Amino acid sequence: MIKKKTDSSGGPAPWIVTYSDLMSLLLTFFILLYSISTVDAEKFRNITEQLQIALTGEGRASIFDGGTEQIASPLDDEMFADDDMPRDDLVEMDPGQILPEELREMYERIQGYIREQGLEADVRVLMDRSGIYVEIKDAILFDMGSAELKPSGIELIGKLEGILNDFENDLVVEGHTDNVPINTREFPSNWELSTARALSVLRYLEEVHSVEPTRLSARGYGEHAPIFPNDTVQNRARNRRVNLLILFEGDNG
């Protein structure tokens, strides 16, 4: 009987082929997700790198940049994705300043009120020599490209009235936008949009909540006073804001 010789020298093991097919399918899946979504490119690059490391045990060149780089875990991005939330270590806009005790007491009083009202998700409190900044996310106040107060914004301002009228200090309403251009009949640029938003809040404070008009003024900064680089969707959202600046009289006369 003639025995057929077993070929032990050719071809990869069957599980290698299956593994390669799985990797190809996963890569195709993630590229498809990327092509139909608006996910931030930096986060997507981080996720694909971590997926490669988890599946292969080693880091390789990213399909986006053709090179290797050391990156942070995508979990780190998620943990700090909401850096604009109120935190005790964000008291001062310039930590190097020595600020008056009276100003610090104002800050503590306002910050305590914000916590009591449960407004931390939409309001941040900061201070510098000028006074106390009550920073409000614009998403709760206005729709995109609009200067008309939303019901949620009206409700929030109503809650803030409880602390704003406890002071006699002058109050400046500041409007800020991101750097995405706007060119409509009502708002030819971000200058007009930011100013109109500040005036909407100012008029509501005066007409509905009886804030003395002699205390009030408005400023529109457009996109020209960002607090974050306008390089991601999240950062642009953070830059769209309205500040209620309670001026510190000790610094203004």
What residue ranges do the domains of the chain occupy? Answer: 14-79, 94-251
Three-state DSSP at 176 gives strand
Three-state DSSP at 206 gives helix
DSSP secondary-structure letter at 213? G
Q: Using only C-alpha atoms, what is the Rg of the chain?
A: 27
Distance CA 221, CA 235 (A): 17
Among 170, 178, 159, CA closest to 121? 159
pLDDT in tens, the chain (253 residues): 444 445 555 556 665 667 677 777 777 777 766 666 654 555 555 555 555 544 544 443 433 344 333 333 333 333 333 444 433 334 555 555 688 999 999 999 999 999 999 999 999 999 999 999 999 999 999 999 999 999 999 999 999 998 999 999 999 999 999 999 999 999 999 999 999 999 999 999 999 999 999 999 999 999 999 999 999 999 999 999 999 999 997 644 4
Adjacency order of strands within the sheet including 131-137: 123-128, 131-137, 241-247, 171-176, 216-220
Can you read off the two tokens belonging to residue 6?
A: 């077993």
Domain 94-251, second-level architecture:
2-Layer Sandwich (3.30)
